[in-house]
Chain A
Amino acid sequence: MRLNSVIENVLIDDIKSLEFDLILVSSGYEERASFLISNYRFNSKNKLALSFKNYGDIKERLKNDGIFLKNGYKLIQSHGDDDSVILSVLENLNFRGKNGLNILIDYSSMTRVWYSAILNYFRWLEVDNNIVIDIYFSYSLAKFSPPPTDHIPNRHIGPIKGFYSIALPLKPTALIIGLGYEKIRAFGLTEFLDSETLVFLTDSSQGDFTNAVRKENYELLKIVDPENIFNYSFDNIVQLHHVLFSLCEKLTEKFRIIIAPCGPKPFTLISLLNSILLKDIDIWRISPGSRGLPENRIPTGKTVVVKTKFLV
Chain B
Amino acid sequence: MNEYKTLFDSFNARNLTLRQVAQGFVNYKKFDELLVNRNSLLMGPRGCGKTTLLKMLTIEALLEYQKINNSTLIYDLPFISIYIPTDVQWKMEVDLFKKEFSKYSEFIELVPNVLVNTNVFIQTIKTFVSLIDTIPSDEVNSNIKLFIDDLKRIWHLPDSTPSSLYAIEQEFYNRLDSVNVLINKTRNRRVEIITYEYPDYYYQEFLEPLRGACKAFEQYFGNSNSLVIRSKTRPIKWALCFDELELAPTWLQTKLFKFFRSKDQDFIFKLTSIPILEFTSKEHLPSTGSDFSPILLWLYTNRHEKEWEEFCKTLIISKLRKKFDQEIDPENLLGNSEYERFLRIEHSLYNDLKIGDLSNQKSILVDQFSQLAKKDSSFAEYLVGKGIDLLKPISADRLEDSEIHRKIKSIVYYRNFYLSSNDKGKGSRRRTRKIKSPFVYGWENICKIADGNPRLIIGIIDQIILNVNNLNQLPEVFIKFQSELLFQISKRYLNLWSTHPDANIDVVSSVISLKSFILSIGNYFQSSILNGSFTPSPTGTFVVNDKVNHKYLDLIVLGIHLGAFILLDPAENISPDGVLNKKFRLSFVLYPYFLLPIRKEEKSNVLSRIISSNIEVINKQVKLDL
Contacts and interface: CB of A to CB of B under 8 A. Distances in A.
A168 B92 CA distance: 12
Interface in A177-226: 185-194, 196, 219, 222-223, 225-226
B499 A188 contact: yes
B594 interface: no
A165 B178 CA distance: 11
A170 B180 contact: no
Contacts of A161: 96, 100, 187
A159 interface: yes
A126 B506 CA distance: 45
Nearest to B92: A158
Interface of A: 120, 124, 126, 153-155, 157-159, 161-162, 164-170, 172-173, 185-194, 196, 219, 222-223, 225-226, 256, 258, 282, 289
Contacts of A158: 92, 95-96
Contacts of A126: 190
B104 to A, nearest CB: 15
A155 B501 contact: yes
Contact of B86 (A124, A169, A258): A169
B579 interface: no
Contacts of B290: none
Interface in B489-510: 495-504, 506
Interface of B: 2, 4-5, 8-9, 12, 14-15, 46, 85-90, 92-97, 100, 111, 115, 118-119, 122, 176, 179-180, 183-184, 187-188, 190, 495-504, 506, 511, 513, 624, 626
B499 A185 contact: yes
Given A153-B511, A187-B496, A223-B5, A159 B93 contact: yes
A219 B626 contact: yes
A187 B8 contact: yes
B503 A256 contact: no
B4 A223 contact: yes
Task: Say whether chain B's binding surface is mostly helix, strand, loop, or mixed.
Answer: helix
Given A124-B184, A166-B179, A185-B624, 5 more contacts: A159-B92, A168-B90, A188-B498, A191-B499, A192-B88
A168 B111 CA distance: 12
B85 A188 contact: no
Contact of A159 (B96, B111, B176, B626): B96
Given A173-B89, A223-B5, A192 B501 contact: yes
| Residue among A120, A219, A289 with max Cβ neighbours from chain B (10 Å) | A219
Contact of B15 (A120, A165, A168, A194): A194
Contacts of A222: 4
A167 B498 contact: no
Contacts of A164: 93, 96
A50 B243 CA distance: 48
A219 B492 CA distance: 12
B88 A193 contact: yes
B605 to A, nearest CB: 29
A2 B8 CA distance: 42
A153 B187 contact: no
B4 A194 contact: no
A68 to B, nearest CB: 30
Given A162-B187, A223-B2, A187 B122 contact: no
Contacts of B183: 165-166
Contact of A192 (B8, B118, B500, B511): B500
A104 to B, nearest CB: 24
A223 B12 CA distance: 16
Nearest to B184: A124
A167 B176 contact: yes
A157 B92 CA distance: 9
Given A153-B511, A187-B8, A222-B4, A169 B500 contact: no
Contact of B87 (A120, A173, A186): A173
A191 B496 contact: yes
Given A161-B96, A191-B500, A169 B85 contact: yes
A194 B14 contact: yes
Given A193-B88, A223-B2, A187 B626 contact: yes
Contact of A166 (B5, B14, B93, B624): B93
Contact of A189 (B15, B100, B498, B499): B499
